[in-house]
Amino acid sequence: MGHTIRDIASALGAEASGNLDLVVTHAAEPAGAGAGALALAMDPRYAEGLSKGAARAAMLWQGADWQAMGLEAAIFAPRGRLAMAGLSRIFDPGPQIVPGIHPMAIVDPTAEVGEDAAIGPFVTVGAGVRIGPRARIASHVSVAEGARIGADALILQGARIGARVTIGDRFICHPGAVIGADGFSFVTPEKSGVEEIRETLGERAEIRQQSWVRIHSLGSVSIADDVEIGANSTIDRGTIRDTSIGAGTKLDNLVHVGHNVQVGRDCLLCGQVGIAGSSRIGDRVVLGGQVGVSDNIFVGDDVVAGGATKIRTNAPAGRVLLGDPAVKMETQIEIQKAMRRLPRLAATVAALQKAVSLKGQSD
């Protein structure tokens, strides 16, 4: 379905010029844009591509001379990526989930399904579940007993929502995510080698046989409003209290949040992040891909950790971290510079050793 330039600009709160009744059906990169596309050139670097495509309208940077580019209309985006967020929302048709409860879904008689909800085929909804109005649940999702799902949720194919999980409004869950599996928590009848190593930082009195006793997870998972969970991510239930995810937080694909973890508001956890049990993550924390957080530590508000950083101790608020173990980013950069100099330093030391040796022989 097409949209006029006027409607798009109004929805984005942006200025527009030219033929505002021109209709576009999709967005495209400038060089590949056809006549029905809205070309995206929000930065002057991409303007050259407009001459290679056939777009009649484009989204441009503020002050761009759209007429000189041969366009019939233009929308001006003061902040390109923010405009992209609104534009992608306009053109995204979303998943096709037929309203109502599909005849091949299994919904327990005690479950409550809100008004205008859509539940796809092969979905199972357990006893006592409450699903909010306008929620959409795609095929092969399972929602276990006692779970609560808020209004306007979107849960995609194959996701698993565990028992007594509580989820807020406008939740988005991508395929294959598992929310509310048991935590990975075990103990030995006597002090284990792991406990001994933690206490002694590496020393073990003896190596002996040991077996693991499972600690069951009696808590669940609490997720606030406007949270998004990526494909194949996992959030474990708490041992006694709930594992919790704060409002507005977004998890990428393949993120693991361990038992009892508390994640604050408006955090970004990128792909393959792992947070070990009972750690606390503050508000607005950004963890790059493959960041690891050790158990039982605190990461303060507004911390940013670069990719593959390993946070092993408490991190104060506002700190920018990088490396393994995590240090201030500027410190890690100096460490990397020093490491690159090591071969030259080794050669210099070898030459000095040789010179000293020859001098000793001559003496």
Q: Which residues are catalytic?
A: 259
Rounded to whole angstroms, the Cα distance separating 279 from 284 reads 16
Rounded to whole angstroms, the Cα distance separating 346 from 341 reads 9
Rounded to whole angstroms, the Cα distance separating 65 from 24 reads 20
In the chain, the amino acid numbered 246 is G
Rounded to whole angstroms, the Cα distance separating 44 from 30 reads 12
Rounded to whole angstroms, the Cα distance separating 297 from 281 reads 9
Distances (CA, A) of 361 to 239, 347, 352: 70, 21, 14
Distances (CA, A) of 114 to 287, 323, 349: 35, 47, 74
Rounded to whole angstroms, the Cα distance separating 60 from 49 reads 12
What single-letter DSSP state applies at residue 241? Answer: S
Close Cβ partners of 265 (under 8 Å, ≥ 6 residues apart): 224, 246, 247, 248, 249, 283, 284
Give ∠ CA 84-95-135 in degrees, rounded to 5: 100
One DSSP character per residue, 104-152 reads T-EE-TT-EE-TT-EE-TT-EE-TT-EE-TT-EE-TT-EE-TT-EE-TT
